[in-house]
Amino acid sequence: MAALLDVSDVTLRYKTSSAVVTATERVSFSVDRSDRFVLLGPSGCGKSTLLKAVGGYMRPSEGKMRINGREISEPGADRMMIFQEFDQLLPWKTVLENVMFPLLMTRRLPRKDAEARARSYIEKVSLTRVVDAYPHTLSGGMKQRVAIARGMAMEPDILLMDEPFAALDALTRRTCQDELLQLWAETKFTVLFVTHSIAEAIKIGNRILLLSPHPGRVKAEVVDVDKVSAEDGSAARLEKQIHDLLFADAVTAH
């Protein structure tokens, strides 16, 4: 079976005012349906840039990216982005209207069906209580859950999550992670998840791609991550192993 998302030998460069920066160099990976694929690495490894490229916001200078066999050339609703920033919700729309917005804009569903689907996904993230509230009245965690509901309601080929829980407090972050896993168990969506937290990567992912910084290169891929568990200490051992792998260069360099 062909992979859902296929990234092969992708080099990403972007221009700043004074230089051309290479964010990633010859990165390859492939994501299968229902994968929870995590891009993990320290800052500067180009993981967010890579996600934006998959989102269609920038073109690779070398290499190819295909989703469902089609080459990625521009942003599209088959790849729904969920950002770290709380201002990703449209402040002039209520929670319900925010979730309905992409369904209506892409003419996926007529208004009545869009509303029914939006309400069912808002219920999934247990926000029915605030369905008619405006985003500015919600807490950070609630905003991120609305964004997740909005992404999932489109039932895209893949959800692209760019450190969605990084700006949350520790307790809310854990609740949100648990909720995401529960949602995955219900609908088995495919997600490409970017994080710089090893613990989060192990908790969320079933596959982890480790990237090294300056420029971002693939260091290793960890598979069967969902087999480890926090109870018998295997998760902690994996965390240590990944930590050593990521920071090995840094230690020898000093």
Partner 1 sequence: MGEARVLLRDAAALDATVPAEVERKLTVLELLWNDGFVRKTVIIIFLAAAWEIYGTFLDNPLLFPTFHDTILTMFDKVRDGTIPLRAWASLKVLFMGYAAGIALAAIFTILAISTRIGTDFLETVTAMFNPLPAIALLPLALIWFGLGNGSLVFVLIHSVLWPVALNTHSGFKSVSNTLRMVGRNYGLRGLPYVARILIPAAFGSILTGLKIGWAFAWRTLIAAELVFGVSSGQGGLGWFIFENRNLLDIPAVFAGLLTVIVIGLIVENLIFRTIERNTVQKWGTQS
Within 118-147, the residues that bind partner 1 by CB under 8 A are 134-137
Give the total of residues touching partner 1 (CB under 8 A). 24
Closest distance of CB 140 from partner 1, Å: 14
Q: By CB under 8 A, is residue 85 in contact with partner 1?
A: yes
Distance (Å, whole) CA 52 – CA 83: 10
Distance (Å, whole) CA 188 – CA 244? 32
Q: Is 59 in the site for partner 1 (CB under 8 A)?
A: no
- Shortest gap between Cβ of 87 and partner 1 (angstroms)? 5
Q: Would you count residue 92 as binding partner 1 (CB under 8 A)?
A: yes
Asked if 224 interacts with partner 1 (CB under 8 A), we say no
Is residue 197 within 8 A of residue 239, CB to CB? The reply is no
Please answer whether residues 133 and 96 qualify as being in contact, where contact means their C-beta atoms are separated by less than 8 angstroms: no
Q: Cα dist. 254→63, 86, 90, 246, 247 in Å?
A: 34, 37, 46, 15, 11
- Residue 216 DSSP one-character state: B
List the interface residues with partner 1, window 64-83 (CB under 8 A): 75-77, 79-81, 83
Site for partner 1 in 14-53 (CB under 8 A): 52
- Under the criterion CB under 8 A, does residue 91 sit at the interface with partner 1? yes
The amino acid at residue 10 is V
Read off the DSSP letter of residue 40: E
Instruction: Tell me which residues touch partner 1 (CB under 8 A).
Output: 52, 55, 57, 75-77, 79-81, 83, 85, 87-88, 90-92, 101-102, 105-106, 134-137
